[in-house]
Amino acid sequence: MNTARASSSAATPPAKGARGAGTKGVPRARREEQILAAAMDEFGRHGHASASMAAIAGRVGVTKPMLYTYFGSKDGLYLACLEHVAPRLVTAIEEAMGRSRGRLTAGEKPAAETPHRVLSAVFGVLEEQRGAWFVLYDRTLKPGTDLHAAAHRHRRTIDDLAASGTADLLRGHGNEDPLDADALKHVWTGTVGALVGWWTSHPDQSAQDMAARCARLLTAIRG
């Protein structure tokens, strides 16, 4: 699902509550949320390699040392962002696929609404932190590093779900060709990444707007 990183001018606006926060009287849990929100946007805009800890601290209204006190390092902060968004995406996709599959009876074709449910689930998770997508699909991570391995592990889980869903779809139409299934999986994952990239460059569009748009697009494609 790799897609081009959104430009700074088109990236997601800062998450609510992340900018201008005071430095005193904020509970630790709330402060961590603010830091993660700002870091998610910074990593999403610039990638881990070019993200600035000073910029993150400035957006939250704290010092750089406080970021290190909370998360240990830039790598630690990136991992915290990754572990914050990836499991939520995986769970949302699994639930979307499960709801659709649960409607089927023996011999029935896979539910036509499954792709729309999955897209709606993805948009729902990313509603307030669209830059989180680019944290998960960060092209600046160096192969062989712990960060790259962690991101790859989560991406592989999502990729496996995509492979399962597209294979089920083809199987429901009598197609058991594994190469067809693999090709369709790549079409699907590329499409999801492209749609999220487009959405990120149109911050005025809500998750609900995108779900409705995708419903229209899928209907046109099926037609």
* Rounded-to-integer distance, Cα 35 and Cα 23, Å: 12
Is residue 150 domain-resident?
yes
Residue 172 belongs to domain with CATH number: 1.10.357
Flag whether 45 is in a domain.
no
**Within a domain: residue 190?**
yes
pLDDT in tens, 27-65: 999 999 999 999 999 999 999 999 999 999 999 999 999
Q: How high is the pLDDT of residue 62?
A: 94
What rounded mean pLDDT belongs to the chain? 86
Selection from 98, 91, 117 nearest residue 214 by Cα: 117
Backbone angle region of 25, left / alpha / beta, with phi > 0 → left and psi within -120 to 50 → alpha: left
Q: Is residue 39 part of a domain?
A: no
- Structurally, how many domains does the chain consist of? 1
4 vs 146, higher pLDDT: 146
- What band does 96 get if pLDDT is binned at 50, 70 and 90? very high
Q: Percentage of residues in the chain with pLDDT exceeding 90?
A: 74
The boundaries of the domain holding residue 109 are 83-222
Q: Is residue 177 part of a domain?
A: yes
Tokens 């005025």, residue?
204
What pTM, to 2 d.p., does this model score? 0.81
pLDDT band at 2 (very low <50, low <70, confident <90, very high): very low
Say if 56 falls within a structural domain: no
199 within some domain? yes
Is pLDDT at 21 greater than 70 in this prediction? no
Q: Say if 99 falls within a structural domain.
A: yes
What is the structure's pLDDT at 88? 95
Q: What is residue 111's predicted lDDT score, i.e. its pLDDT? A: 59
The answer to whether residue 109 scores a pLDDT higher than 70 is no
Buried b (16+ CB within 10 A) or exposed e, 152-167: eebbebbeebbbebbb
